[in-house]
């Protein structure tokens, strides 16, 4: 009878461990991050990055991005362009104050990782994939990404579809430390 307890105990431990919550590493944004965009017109950067990042290359299933950017922080380097970009024609920051990305999955790719999820800009939400890399360091790491966004997909200045480039190239460089 005692010998049958060991296999039962092992089975109970195995089943219990299947329900153990596996958490990914949480990260805190460094102050020296960069969110830059370029196009024919305009080009500039955003500040106001907030949110949560849980990422572990060894546990992508538990990894998740839920981030936002304050759209009113747009800076093109030109006061008149900034005012125009914040207006109803472009980002309409009064009505749509944030740009958000929430991942639904993170997978390994040939050149790094892909974060698939929902991108919301100007009140329009689209399925979107952000290709990125993560370079670990002694104190944390750096997330980098480069991707294109078609402003017309998000109803940004659709009244003038030929005004400037419709594609914005976005470059991210986000240093992080362990939270």
**DSSP code, position 21:** P
Which of 20, 64, 67 minimizes the C-alpha distance to 48? 67
The pLDDT value recorded for residue 62 is 96
Task: List, in order, residues 6 or more apart from 39 with CB less than 8 Å away.
Answer: 164, 165, 167, 168, 169
Residue 146 lies in a domain: yes
3-state secondary structure of 60: helix
Which of 57, 171, 51, 170 minimizes the C-alpha distance to 107? 57
Query: From first to last of its 179 residues, what are the pLDDT tens digits of the chain?
Result: 455 555 454 444 444 444 444 568 999 999 999 999 998 777 899 999 999 999 999 999 999 999 999 999 999 999 999 998 999 888 999 999 999 999 999 999 999 999 999 999 999 999 999 999 999 999 899 999 999 999 899 988 777 766 667 889 999 999 999 98
Token duo for residue 137: 């360091």
Residue 5 lies in a domain: no
What total of structural domains would you count in the chain? Answer: 1
pTM: 0.84
Can you give the residue range of the structural domain that contains 99?
A: 23-178
The pLDDT value recorded for residue 39 is 84
Residue 152 lies in a domain: yes
Residue 77 lies in a domain: yes
The pLDDT value recorded for residue 159 is 73
Residue 10 lies in a domain: no
At 83, which CATH number? 2.40.128.110
The size of the chain, in residues, is: 179
How many whole angstroms separate alpha carbon 86 and alpha carbon 93? Answer: 5
């Amino acid at each position: 009878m005692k010998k049958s307890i060991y296999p039962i105990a092992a089975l109970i431990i195995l089943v219990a461990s299947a329900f153990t919550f596996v958490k990914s590493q949480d990260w805190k944004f460094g102050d020296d991050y960069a969110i830059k965009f370029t196009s024919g017109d305009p080009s500039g950067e955003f500040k106001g990055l907030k949110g949560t990042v849980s990422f572990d290359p060894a546990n992508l299933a538990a990894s998740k991005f839920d981030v936002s950017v304050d759209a009113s922080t747009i800076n093109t380097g030109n006061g008149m362009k900034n005012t125009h970009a914040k207006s109803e024609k472009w980002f309409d920051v009064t009505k749509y104050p944030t740009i958000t990305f929430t991942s639904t999955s993170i997978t390994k790719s040939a050149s790094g990782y892909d974060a698939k999820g929902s991108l919301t800009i100007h009140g329009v939400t689209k399925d979107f994939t952000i290709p990125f890399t993560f370079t670990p360091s002694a104190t944390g790491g750096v997330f980098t990404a480069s991707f294109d966004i078609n402003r017309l997909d998000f109803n940004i200045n659709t009244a003038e579809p030929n005004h400037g480039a419709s594609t914005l190239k976005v470059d991210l460089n986000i240093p992080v430390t362990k939270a």
